[in-house]
Amino acid sequence: MLKKIEGLSPSISIEQKTIHNNPRSTVSTVTEIYDYLRLLYARIVKSYCPRHNIEITPQTTKYILNLAYKNPKTLN
Protein backbone atom coordinates (compact mmCIF):
# COMPACT_ATOMS: atom_id res chain seq x y z
CA MET A 1 0.00 0.00 0.00
CA LEU A 2 1.35 3.42 -1.02
CA LYS A 3 1.48 5.93 1.83
CA LYS A 4 3.50 8.88 0.54
CA ILE A 5 5.00 10.28 -2.68
CA GLU A 6 7.58 13.08 -2.55
CA GLY A 7 9.23 15.25 -5.19
CA LEU A 8 6.37 15.46 -7.69
CA SER A 9 5.66 18.83 -9.24
CA PRO A 10 2.08 20.03 -9.50
CA SER A 11 0.37 19.21 -12.78
CA ILE A 12 -1.43 21.61 -15.07
CA SER A 13 -4.92 20.79 -16.25
CA ILE A 14 -5.84 22.05 -19.70
CA GLU A 15 -9.21 21.87 -21.36
CA GLN A 16 -8.94 21.37 -25.10
CA LYS A 17 -11.08 23.78 -27.05
CA THR A 18 -11.05 24.60 -30.73
CA ILE A 19 -9.66 28.11 -30.35
CA HIS A 20 -7.68 27.57 -33.52
CA ASN A 21 -8.74 25.23 -36.27
CA ASN A 22 -5.26 23.76 -36.50
CA PRO A 23 -4.93 20.26 -35.02
CA ARG A 24 -1.20 20.93 -34.52
CA SER A 25 -1.82 23.73 -32.01
CA THR A 26 -0.01 23.29 -28.73
CA VAL A 27 -0.09 24.99 -25.35
CA SER A 28 2.71 27.30 -26.49
CA THR A 29 0.97 28.33 -29.71
CA VAL A 30 -2.36 28.94 -27.99
CA THR A 31 -0.76 30.95 -25.17
CA GLU A 32 1.36 32.83 -27.72
CA ILE A 33 4.71 32.00 -26.11
CA TYR A 34 5.72 29.89 -29.10
CA ASP A 35 7.37 32.83 -30.91
CA TYR A 36 9.37 33.74 -27.80
CA LEU A 37 10.52 30.13 -27.37
CA ARG A 38 11.66 30.05 -31.01
CA LEU A 39 13.71 33.22 -30.47
CA LEU A 40 15.21 31.87 -27.25
CA TYR A 41 16.26 28.54 -28.75
CA ALA A 42 17.61 30.21 -31.89
CA ARG A 43 19.94 32.30 -29.73
CA ILE A 44 21.15 29.72 -27.20
CA VAL A 45 21.56 26.66 -29.43
CA LYS A 46 24.89 26.02 -31.14
CA SER A 47 24.76 24.54 -34.64
CA TYR A 48 27.25 21.90 -35.77
CA CYS A 49 28.19 20.62 -39.20
CA PRO A 50 26.82 17.06 -39.42
CA ARG A 51 29.67 16.00 -41.70
CA HIS A 52 32.65 17.41 -39.76
CA ASN A 53 31.19 17.92 -36.26
CA ILE A 54 32.52 21.51 -36.16
CA GLU A 55 30.53 24.38 -34.67
CA ILE A 56 29.03 26.65 -37.32
CA THR A 57 29.98 30.28 -36.70
CA PRO A 58 29.38 33.45 -38.70
CA GLN A 59 32.01 34.13 -41.38
CA THR A 60 32.77 37.31 -43.28
CA THR A 61 32.18 37.54 -47.01
CA LYS A 62 35.90 38.12 -47.52
CA TYR A 63 36.80 34.92 -45.67
CA ILE A 64 34.30 32.83 -47.67
CA LEU A 65 35.48 34.27 -51.00
CA ASN A 66 39.12 33.57 -50.10
CA LEU A 67 38.23 29.94 -49.37
CA ALA A 68 36.32 29.65 -52.65
CA TYR A 69 39.20 31.07 -54.70
CA LYS A 70 41.79 28.86 -53.00
CA ASN A 71 39.84 25.64 -53.49
CA PRO A 72 36.63 25.70 -55.58
CA LYS A 73 35.83 22.15 -54.38
CA THR A 74 35.04 23.56 -50.91
CA LEU A 75 31.81 24.98 -52.31
CA ASN A 76 30.31 21.49 -52.63
pLDDT at 59: 92
pLDDT at position 50: 92
What residue ranges of the chain have pLDDT lower than 50? Answer: none
Q: How far is 35 from 42, CA to CA, in rounded Å?
A: 11
Whole-number pLDDT of residue 40: 86
What was the pLDDT predicted at 74? 63
